[in-house]
Amino acid sequence: MPMLKAEHISFSYTGRGSQEALRDLSLQIEPGECLAIVGRNGSGKSTLLSLLAGSLKPGTGSIECAGKLGYVPQGNALLEDLSVWENVVFFAALGGISKKDIPDPLPLGISSFRRKKIRALSGGMQKRVSIACALVAKPQILLLDEPCAALDIFWKMKALELFWEAKRAGVAILYVGHDFSEILRLSDGILFLDHGRQLFQRPLSQLPSSPIELEELVRSLLPEEASF
């Protein structure tokens, strides 16, 4: 049974001149599976994750979640005037995890600045807190919107290891990213979005195994004006 299933979802932002941000999109993810979402800026990736996380409501179509959801949005959703530790406790509690079940040390090295307020942290440090907050709540589904974009090479590797561990433990992952070597390491399949529509979806077995070849394939498959 899929952990996450979306069927024929469409969505438009309200407001003058708003176009349909997503059109007739369907996907499903099994436990322990990772589906990568790839597409140009503005193709609808973050809108899709907001819909799956329930922070937006689809105009048409249906979304079914069979487990607890963890979400790392593209822009952080942390409580800026609270400390790192207070955020961790808050997001763990939202996921039904009590203080005593929070790992010590915290993931991604954030224990070293656990007393600092979120607003006093760099973008990359905030992103590490955001990822840690999602993980400590022990989700069964992880929605990751460019989680590694602000991380230095060291923390990027650590974050990818944690996502791998979660996957091995049966977590279903939806991973938005632009880095094909990250995607090839983590994903079982890729869904390509273009102008809010699915351009194509392929299992990893039907894609080249080198990031450069994959990048070339994507370029050749995307419409000319939508090239990477």
> Nearer Cβ to ligand ADP, position 23 or 158?
23
Closest contact distance (angstroms) between CB of 13 and ligand ADP is 3
Distance of CA 54 to the CA centre of its chain: 14
Residue 206 binding result from Mg ion, ligand ADP, none, given CB thresholds of 5 to 8 Å by partner type: none
Is residue 74 close enough to count as binding Mg ion by CB under 5 A?
Answer: yes
C-alpha dihedral (91, 94, 97, 103), degrees to nearest 10: -10
Distance CA 89, CA 146 (A): 24
**Exposed (0-12), middle (13-18) or buried (19+): which is 20, by Cβ within 10 Å?**
middle
Residue 47 binding result from Mg ion, ligand ADP, none, given CB thresholds of 5 to 8 Å by partner type: ligand ADP
- Check if the beta carbon of residue 63 is closer than 8 Å to that of residue 51: yes
Closest contact distance (angstroms) between CB of 145 and ligand ADP is 7
> Nearer Cβ to ligand ADP, position 25 or 92?
25
Closest contact distance (angstroms) between CB of 9 and ligand ADP is 13
> Nearer Cβ to Mg ion, position 49 or 218?
49
The residue behind tokens 């069979």 is 66
Q: In the complex, which residues of this chain contact ligand ADP (CB under 6 A)?
A: 13, 15, 18, 21, 39, 41-47
Output the CA–CA distances (angstroms, integers) from residue 19 to 23, 87, 121, 148, 189, in the order listed.
10, 35, 36, 29, 28
Count of CB atoms within 10 A of residue 212's CB? Answer: 10
Closest contact distance (angstroms) between CB of 26 and ligand ADP is 17
Distance of CA 173 to the CA centre of its chain: 7
Closest contact distance (angstroms) between CB of 6 and ligand ADP is 15
Closest contact distance (angstroms) between CB of 179 and Mg ion is 14
- Check if the beta carbon of residue 197 is closer than 8 Å to that of residue 165: no
Distance CA 174, CA 186 (A): 10
> Nearer Cβ to Mg ion, position 84 or 191?
191
Among 46, 50, 76, 187, binds Mg ion (CB under 5 A): 46
Residue 127 binding result from Mg ion, ligand ADP, none, given CB thresholds of 5 to 8 Å by partner type: none
> Nearer Cβ to Mg ion, position 29 or 143?
143
Residues 119-138 that bind Mg ion (CB under 5 A): none
> Nearer Cβ to Mg ion, position 74 or 201?
74
- Check if the beta carbon of residue 139 is closer than 8 Å to that of residue 68: yes
Binding span for Mg ion by CB under 5 A among 44-52, 105-113, 114-122, 164-172? 44-52
Count of CB atoms within 10 A of residue 225's CB? Answer: 7
- Interface residues with Mg ion (CB under 5 A)? 45-46, 74
